């Protein structure tokens, strides 16, 4: 049985290196990357920030998110979490261009 850290070390990181992430010029593998600063809850306080396990960057553009799970967990366990992150990222981007959030 593999926990999340062991899954990252034994399976994900070797596969990413083999695919050239962090090795190919202009590619970068960001670990424990903050997705949000945390929702504002008032009185200058924020909720816990959201982090993802890996962000794939190419030529300074974020093009992928990888969320690791223990090997015995099903991949759909993190679908809602990824949906939340993508919604947060889209809303931040949408506000910049005065578009409506999801």
Predicted confidence band at 99 (pLDDT cuts at 50, 70, 90)? low
Whole-prediction pTM: 0.69
State pLDDT tens for residues 15-62: 999 999 999 999 999 998 887 777 778 888 888 887 888 999 999 998
Instruction: Write a three-state SS string for the chain.
Output: CCCHHHHHHHHHHHHHHHCCCCCCCCEEEEEEEECCCCCEEECCEECCCCEEEEEEEECCEEEEEECCCCCCCCHHHHHHHHHHHHHHHHHHHHHHCCCCCC
Using CA atoms, how far residue 23 sits from 54, 63, 72, in Å, is 15, 16, 30
Structural domains in the chain plus CATH codes = 4-75 (3.90.1570.30)
Predicted confidence band at 101 (pLDDT cuts at 50, 70, 90)? low
């Amino acid at each position: 049985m593999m926990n999340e850290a062991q899954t990252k070390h034994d399976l994900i990181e070797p596969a990413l290196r083999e695919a050239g992430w962090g090795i190919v010029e202009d590619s970068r593998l960001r670990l424990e990357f903050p997705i949000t600063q945390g929702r504002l809850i008032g009185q200058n306080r924020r909720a816990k920030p959201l982090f993802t396990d890996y962000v794939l960057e190419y030529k300074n553009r974020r093009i992928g998110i990888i969320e690791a799970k223990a090997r015995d967990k099903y991949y759909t366990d993190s679908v809602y979490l990824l949906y939340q992150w993508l919604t947060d990222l889209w809303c931040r981007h949408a506000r910049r261009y005065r578009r409506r959030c999801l």
